[in-house]
Every structure is written in structure tokens, then in C-alpha cells.
Amino acid sequence: MSTTEWEVVVGLEVHVQLLTEAKLFSTQPNEFGKDPNTAVDDLVAGFPGALPVLNEEAIRLSLVAGLALGADPQPRSVFERKHYFYPDLPKGYQISQYARPLFLGGRLRYRTGDGETRTCRLTRVHLEEDAGKTSHRAGESLVDLNRAGVPLLEIVTEPDLRSAADAADFLRELRRVVRFARISDGNMEEGSLRCDANVSVRRGSDAPFGTRAEIKNLNSFRFVERAILHEAERQVRLLRRNGEVVQETRLYDEGRDRTVAMRGKEYAEDYRYMPDPDLPAVVLDPAFIEEVRASVPRSPLDVWAEYTHQGVPDEAARILTDTWEVADFFDAVLALGADPRLVAPLVVNDVLPKLDHAWEIGERLRPDDVAALISSLGSGVSRSVVESALTRLLSGETDARRLVAEVADGQLGSDELDTVVTAVLTEHPEQVARYREGHAKLIGFFVGRVLQASPAEVDPRVAKETLEKRLNEEAPRRDS
């Protein structure tokens, strides 16, 4: 069903796990992938008598993020208790912020798929603790409290987004920002970045906002897009039949690719927010804010613009700015005088596909090695030599110049190759004749023979080029 005459209105609530060493109010480690319930102390387990002590590092990271998002740090913010019962919520309340968040306002510029730059306003940014995880299997439910108490930054947008794709583009840019700010790895698969979407539809952009439904816990860019798309279609279908959209919480069912309403009871919750009497208000010293402001990193969108300005294609620039590690690496290679238009394809096409995670680039490669590879390319070394040298660099060897020389040495020199080629052609006069009659496919046969006959490694592409040159240029020997 088409939704073209309808406008989709989306606001997001994005949860970003902060990369602190310890949890928000406990000294237990903030670490993904530990054995269940091994990052638990009396506070995390909600033991009687345990008290929260704020991790200052979380405030600093929040401040970096908030300032990077142009939000207004509030001189005084308050932690509150948000109450509900669930086995992975050990205290029976989540420590969050409500009436007085850490930040108000803010905005994020992002590029859409069509290459347009848009701005989405932020309502607020606040800090809270994560809950644990419950997993259900036949007859039992298991609780893991390792995630309980991990600091989460919640970023709430205004209803400024106008389509599912728009929301996903915004979210991708937001992920770049939190990565560039180095406050989160933004990893959706591990739950470091999660998203709730408020979706409504209206007839045209002048109509008042429709009633919204909230879709909870979207944990991939694809699901964000699919869920919003389906929810908008559902609402349009409903309204076309003169039905009414109910304000409710829904879940995206990935298997059936649609949204479903949560049980009535679960969303009729009254959280009974109350200022947490165990925690003093967070008072931000203006001098501290200014100190942190000085350390706020550049915006990934500005970096993107800079790269494209230097001649890097749009899409390559986008990939280079997906993580700060890659952008920093790219910059470091450029700082050595390399041409961005040559470095970008090498990094995007040759380096990144060989890494498990893009952020490893700085750990696996040195910028001067990449600069050396680029300069080898410029001085006529073949791509295949450079690629082999790169593979060896990524497997832990060092010194690109030496590796290029070694690879090149290991390969047959062009004179030697000529000798081999001559021998192969001489041995197979019939095939040569047939090739020259138009059986171009025979080139594969010759390449195979050359590779077999060669005493050293030969780049098949080079062998093919040499063979073709000889076969096409030389006068048929039969005549002589």
C-alpha cells in the first residue's frame, strides 16, 4: 500500500552505552562479553545497604557527547528513580534523569541517501543506568546482571524526521558522532547503541501531528528502517479505514517483519519518578564545561565534507568517516604527503575488507607503511605487488618498502618472464596459430603454461599482459 500522500513523522530516543571503565554507580567493570553475573557487587545486585557513588568519568564522557551534539549543559541536574518490577532490574528502580536532565536542546546535521544535508533538533540528553538482561528458555528465565548499571546516554530528538530512511540516516550520523567523540563504540549488535522510535502519520506536512506509537528496542539500522516503514503503513491502513491510532508501545517482530502491540499492562506503567535521595544533584562547574569543550572532537560530517573537497568520492568519504579510527588513520597517511585520491581507494577497497573491525586499522597498520605503498604505486610497482605487501603488513610484518622490494624480487623479472613466454609460445605453435585466427579464449591456456613453467612467482595479470602483447604485436613467425 502506498503512503505517498501521507507524511511520516518520526522522533527517536537513542540509548548509547558509554565507554567508561566502571559502571555508572559501581566500581564493577563495564565490559561486554564476560561470563554471566561476574560484574556484580552489592549495589549491582540491589543488596540492602548498598549505595550508589557517581562515576565522574561518565559525566565527562556525557559532556563530550552533549557538547558534540550542540546541547546545553545544565548547571544542575538530578538523578531520579524510575520504578518498575522486572527480574533484571535489581533495585526495583532504574536510576535515570527526568525533570532535570544533564542537557537540554541540541541539534544534529546529517546527510540523507539522496545527498541532502538535514538537521534534526534534539529535545534533551540525559544519563541513566542500563538494566540487566533476561533470557527465557523452556521453563526458566535466566538473569545476567553484567549489563545492569552500565552508563547509558539517552538522546531524545524532536519529531523532525520524515521517513524511515531519514531516521536511519540520522541514526548513522549519530553513531559517527558518538564514535568520533570516543564515548561509545556505537556497536548495535552488542547493544551499545539502541533505539526507540515514536512514529505517527499525517496527511501532508501542514496537518497537525497524528497520534504516535512507540516502537521499543530496535537494535539494527535495518530493523529501525523496517519497523518504522511497517508501523507507518499500519497507521495509514488504519486511518484509511477510519480507524484510530492508539498511543501505545509496540515491538518490532523481526521474524514476521511487522510491529505488534505490547501487552496492555506493560505500558500502562506509572514509573513514580522521584529524586534519588542517595545522590546529590550533579553540579557542572562552568570551568569544567569549558575544559571539556576544548577537547570536543571535530564533527564527522565536517570531516566528510573536507575529504570530498579533497577529491575523495562521496561514498568512500562516508566509509572513511564511519569510525574515528579510520578517519584518524586516513589523516595520518595524508599528513605524510600522500594523495587522498589514491589513499582513499586503497583504504576502502583493500584495507577495510581485510579487517574484522574497521576500528582496528591503527592497531594493524602504520600510516607510514600505507604512505610507502602509495608511493610504490606511483613509481610503477604493480598493484599486485602492493596488495601482497599489504597482506603481509596486515599479518603482522613491518616495513612496507622492504616488503614491496621482497615481493617484487620474488616475482619473475620482466626479462626472465619474456624468456618463459618465448619458450611457451615456441612449444605450442598450433595454439598460437589458433589464437591468432581469433580464438582469444586460448589466452587462459597460455597463462596457465607460463605460470607452470615459471621458476618463480608470477602475477597472472602481468603474464597475461605480456602474452597478449607478444601474441598481438609480433609478426607470425611462420612467414619467416
**Residues interacting with other proteins, by CB under 8 A?**
42, 45-54, 81, 83, 85, 87, 90-93, 141, 143, 270, 272-274, 277-280
Nearest-approach distance from CB 120 to other proteins, in angstroms: 29
Among 373, 445, 451, 386, CA closest to 412: 451
Distance CA 183, CA 16 (A): 9
In the bound state with other proteins, the residue whose beta carbon lies nearer, of 244 and 278, is 278
Nearest-approach distance from CB 200 to other proteins, in angstroms: 23
In the bound state with other proteins, the residue whose beta carbon lies nearer, of 243 and 280, is 280
- Sign of the CA dihedral running 361, 301, 339, 462: positive
In the bound state with other proteins, the residue whose beta carbon lies nearer, of 83 and 182, is 83
Nearest-approach distance from CB 143 to other proteins, in angstroms: 7
Strand, helix or coil for residue 457: strand
Nearest-approach distance from CB 74 to other proteins, in angstroms: 19
Strand, helix or coil for residue 330: helix
Nearest-approach distance from CB 45 to other proteins, in angstroms: 5
In the bound state with other proteins, the residue whose beta carbon lies nearer, of 280 and 311, is 280
Nearest-approach distance from CB 23 to other proteins, in angstroms: 15
In the bound state with other proteins, the residue whose beta carbon lies nearer, of 208 and 277, is 277
- Sign of the CA dihedral running 379, 380, 384, 388: negative
Residue type, 278: D
Distance CA 355, CA 232 (A): 38
In the bound state with other proteins, the residue whose beta carbon lies nearer, of 29 and 46, is 46
Q: Long-range pairs for 55-60 at CB < 8 Å and ≥24 separation? A: 55/20, 55/22, 55/23, 55/24, 55/25, 55/26, 55/151, 57/20, 57/21, 57/22, 58/18, 58/20, 58/24, 58/127, 58/151, 59/102, 59/127, 59/282, 59/284, 60/292
Query: Which segments of 138-288 are extended strands (E)?
Result: 140-144, 151-157, 193-203, 213-218, 249-253, 258-261, 274-275, 282-283
In the bound state with other proteins, the residue whose beta carbon lies nearer, of 49 and 476, is 49
In the bound state with other proteins, the residue whose beta carbon lies nearer, of 43 and 372, is 43
Q: Max Cα separation, the chain?
A: 103
In the bound state with other proteins, the residue whose beta carbon lies nearer, of 7 and 276, is 276
Nearest-approach distance from CB 152 to other proteins, in angstroms: 20
Distance CA 305, CA 285 (A): 34
Distance CA 21, CA 58 (A): 9
**For strand 249-253 and strand 213-218, is the pairing parallel, antiparallel, or unpaired?**
parallel
In the bound state with other proteins, the residue whose beta carbon lies nearer, of 265 and 441, is 265
Nearest-approach distance from CB 92 to other proteins, in angstroms: 2
Q: How far apart are the first and last CA of the chain?
A: 75
Nearest-approach distance from CB 272 to other proteins, in angstroms: 4
**Residues 6 or more apart in contact with residue 239 via CB below 8 angstroms:** 6, 201, 210, 245
In the bound state with other proteins, the residue whose beta carbon lies nearer, of 73 and 90, is 90
Nearest-approach distance from CB 86 to other proteins, in angstroms: 8
**Residues 6 or more apart in contact with residue 81 via CB below 8 angstroms:** 91, 93, 94, 95, 96, 272, 273, 274, 275, 276
Hey, how many other C-beta atoms are within 10 angstroms of the C-beta on 373?
29
Nearest-approach distance from CB 212 to other proteins, in angstroms: 19
